[in-house]
Structure 1
């Protein structure tokens, strides 16, 4: 670059020489041509060492009179970046460990490379160039974050070595491909054990010893470490299970003696469980078959047999089949009679697993009456025996004979079930089985049964005299000979009556009526019952005893069943009686029956109407239509029918007639308009009549407000006096007040909205509450006046008004030139609405200035006095409205004091005398003049009235000591030399004098006097033509 300086002098004084005047190392890197100002580099700069330089270049014009002049310029040189640095990884080798179950799309590693260049030359992008087997990983190019994008499996690949390339954004780019990321996959227990084969099956002889190895269970786990360390256990077993498993090796061994005949097959489970967290397991089924050995003796199912064979049985008759059971498999059992077969009368053959004994030769009862056979069963190695006792019986030659051809028996119907009615008997002259008799009924009679051995006839269900008074049974006696022989007899059973039937009423329920004023002993109704029994068992009497007689209000005649009143009744106390009467027979023991009786008591008019409460309250919406039903007055009468008919009327409080009461329904009807805002409650007295009885109640009709009034809203002002200094700000940040709206309807909810003028959101309005806040944009030193329109709606009606926002900046100058006046019998709210404008107009009239130039910035109740005194502080601009020029406080006080009558007349407010001036104590020394001034004390919250929100600035009284004119210094000891600054123009000569100075003109020149104000003039020496006088 070229540095060039210009010089307006002649060439001899504008011969520029340039040089770099830095005292640092800049001269090492840069040089400047002294003649043409060309700045060049001495060495190649390196932005990564230093990115900018500041050169101080001096231009010397080599002038001679009064000497050379110089100028200095600052040159900022910024070194632009060149892509001359490769990205460098933060680590030579990144090693991370990732569990194999890491979620897909999870971050597993971050690589970081930095590039000392700047801008795009330093923007590093990453990519995986090698080692991403199966695309398991994805690197985010801008960030170097490496995510796993497909599931990992430790059992497949345990480590990945990724080569990562870092490439910057330069043109051309520089690439570092040395990034190395080692991702070590950590095993998690994600593989359950797997059995090498399933199901497992084995066979073992039942006589193997305890500890014998039966089956080897094997499982594998694809995980590693504890995740693959397996333990085995058996499942689905019982406490007496004869197998155990070695939990480490998986060998199943015999733990108790086996017995195929007890259990031939064992089906159970085996579980393999690893030691991972959480553990994983697998199950398999195991079947073990127990093989048989010949270790069981054939065993007869019965070791002793007893039977009879008739002596006339034919040869070849089957006598008996004996059976022996061998629990061994495929055993063959053979049978033989080993002893006791006298004269070889019997033979035995093996048939269908049993031994069939048959008659081989005819029997003779007279030769042998009994045989004891020993039968042997053998499986070829082991054997068992059984004893067979055979009794030879005689032949059947006689029939049974009953003792009587007919029987007659008397039995009471209340005989319990199972009782013996009669025992019949028959005899047989044969012996043995031929003489053993069995009894049976020829026809089935459900009420009776007969014992087949004893002949005893018993009842098997209840018998009932009322259903059947007698029974005839045909009884057969049979012997047990072959062939059987029999005899028959007849049994007549006569049933005797018992008191087993309870009385029965003719109706299930009885109903009757009686007037509540009926005299005692009045007949109400008659009940009647019957009894199926006979004689004294069927004679009845009636009673309430043990039932319900209406707590003694009724009694029943015992033989007629007539129910009568026992005392005076009251329907309003008990309108319906539920009685219970009994009919009792004369049996032993007596039986009885109950019946429910309902007696309704008929009404007479003996009760007055009753209101629910003595004081009734009804809530009615205002503006209810004339003639509409507002409420219903209701009374109840305990009587019924016409005796309970009630007539209603208003007897007090309805003057003038506002309501009408329907005589029959009790409906309260509006006769005039009802207005909540006019009257909120009406009190009347109503009467209910059930002739000749009456009752009264007081009715309160409470009107409920409805939205029938428009919200009230006037134009209002927000006067924000803002005091700002460099040290602090008194800006209010909270709620300053509310939009002054009201609604006569107490239930209305108002909605507040700015519709125009607040586009800059200077005021922040809460639409629900109407609360206002000031925007922070007003926190500045600029005055402002803005007019806005605000609307207020109650949902049905809407009104609008103007809101004027006035922001007045209160300065220290305004405070210094302000005074406080005291107003008698005045409050803040009354002064702000509506007297504030009258006050400013009165002050403006007294000072001959504009009302806009009067700034009231504080209204504050005087707390030092007992009366209602309001302190009002203000300042005022001088006439003409020149900005920043205010009436001095002394003059303000003087003018208001002299014109206080005029101020009172215009402002309608009585101004009290001023407080004692703080300067009356003459606090100033050295002839200094004391001036009373106000200073800022604090800000106060907004004061609200009907139409004004006013923010006061509270001042505090103070004083200032001022030197007399023409003197200055700490003690006013120094006279001011006004000629020091050379105020006279056109070669006028300044002469100091007391309190000022005088300009003397040269000879032949005059003086112009320029007025500056009411007390000041500016004296100027003016050029003029020579005078001749």
Structure 2
């Protein structure tokens, strides 16, 4: 251990003063100094004289403890002493330990031989504790003092020689050589001075009668008693003694024993009899009537604890007896008779106090780290505690423990009853953010006493948790036609950490959605995760899309998580029905039909064709008869759009019937469209047949040029077929549109439809075909069918109808599907042009034949 030579300055001054006393004294002093050096080398001890001025440097703790001043910068250290006053301080820059307040040895240690002031040096970050002690060297700053300046005694002239009269004890607060050493009595012819040694009260001066008193010769004696200490120079205190010589009372009271010893437990109830004294006096009458009292040398504190009955001599408990304050009490009791010249006898009473286990252990939190990070390693010191018990023996043996099931334990220190609180495992703030640690200290007395102390340790957060999304993936459904710039949904994530470590920022991952950067039509609020749309979605163009959102916290280093967001566009009834047949001209769908007057009920007049670009119920169309010349004559199929006769025409029915057909979808807010049908009833079947022939017959110039057109079409198609084969070979490796074409199955569908009525020998004929390609589709759909309801090849649906109104084709063709489109065009030409001419010629011939027969 590091040490400092105790009392370097003080002892040097003492040595200078004692040089004049000779070689022997100087040699003895050096021997004592050498012994003190060896004792200090075993423990780190400083020494300083009491009453030293404030600011006096005692030592340098940095040098003495071997500390590095560079490492102490910013750590901070302080002095902890057991006294209430802050007697010591440390210069944080130089490490000098100096006196903060004047030290009075007598206040700290009374008259103890050794006065040691123990203190601790606490260095923080990390926590280190060094213990040292200071030996407070007494100086001769107090003279001996008698309790009374004047002492009066009345002694009978008959007092025998050798009688003893104890006097008041002088008190010197100093210790060691500076304490009380001797008494001196002024010269007189009657009394000598003896000194008795008591363990408790020390040196008691006693007057011893050496010569018989003669009241007639001298009635009063004045003596001077001096108490001298051992200081250099010595100090003295004086007491004047006045002795009055009384008349004859020749027997003094006496006790059977000069010393009475008794054992008393501490905390004995008040009024308990400790001891009953009994003194005797051989005299009679008032000279033998005895009164008991404490001797004048008894301190006032003792009279507060014990009471002496004047008549019976019983000593009873008057105050609280505490072993921790005094282990025994020793005092003198005087028995005085009531003679004219009272005589007294004395005895000594020794009361030994027996210790009881009446003090619970005291827990002192020497140092405590109130907040620690959750990632500290096991074994990290959180605090240091000291435990003391004021009892003695087995009653002061202590065991201590912490609350169970906590990641902390007590680790004993090299000092007795000093423990460190250390962690036993890693901490997790997300599980427990604060620990209430209860320290229990228990002694081994009977009954055992315990004490408790609770400390609070906060766990600081470390960024060890990734943000966590509430769903994975997020699935949202939004209606089409949303308002651009509005919030369409919100992404949320949570982070189990706290403060900045839980502050989440959202952003979109840079990727493409529908061949466009996601930021081109979406944005996200980085603070609350609200997603905004720059565009309005159209279900007919986009059915669904997906993108990735990343959530990142604000810790150091930051942690992040990602989630896939799937968005499904819900169809909204935003498209009205479109009437395909009859054709719409100038905003009006109008068709004129001719029927014979002799038709029967159930005759199909025509069929209204319509479709709706929406899906589901929004595209489910219904047909109804909104208005008619005669509502009882015709009906409309609710879902087919077929117009049929309900009955045969009567003579009273007008020839021209007008109907308004309402086509309505099934949306919540339905859209509708109307078509007008004018039906003319004719009496002449030949005229009806001619009208039918006229309907299916093309102009003569078209018939005459048909063969020529067919040759041109076939030649062109053959040439295009050769070019297409060559082109497909070049584009074999380029499939950039493959995914796009699959995604736009419905939006890229091409429609071609032909509507009308066709008679043959057995009646009306309606038949349909549908043409498809692998990746692009060219479709011929019947009027009234929407794109979602298109049937596959082989369907019996009426998807192709020959009509005199010609062919309508809507198509979108890509390079890769050019071959399929050309095949479809060739097939459509063969189906729509050649059969149309052939069927029209056959139909005209059949009608003429039937007419000629009639």
TM-score > 0.5, shorter chain as reference:
no
Q: Normalization by structure 1: what TM-score?
A: 0.27
**TM-score, normalised relative to structure 2:** 0.32
Larger Rg: 1
**Which protein, 1 or 2, shows the higher relative CO under an 8 Å CA cutoff with sep ≥ 6?**
2
- Normalized per residue, the structure richer in strand is 1
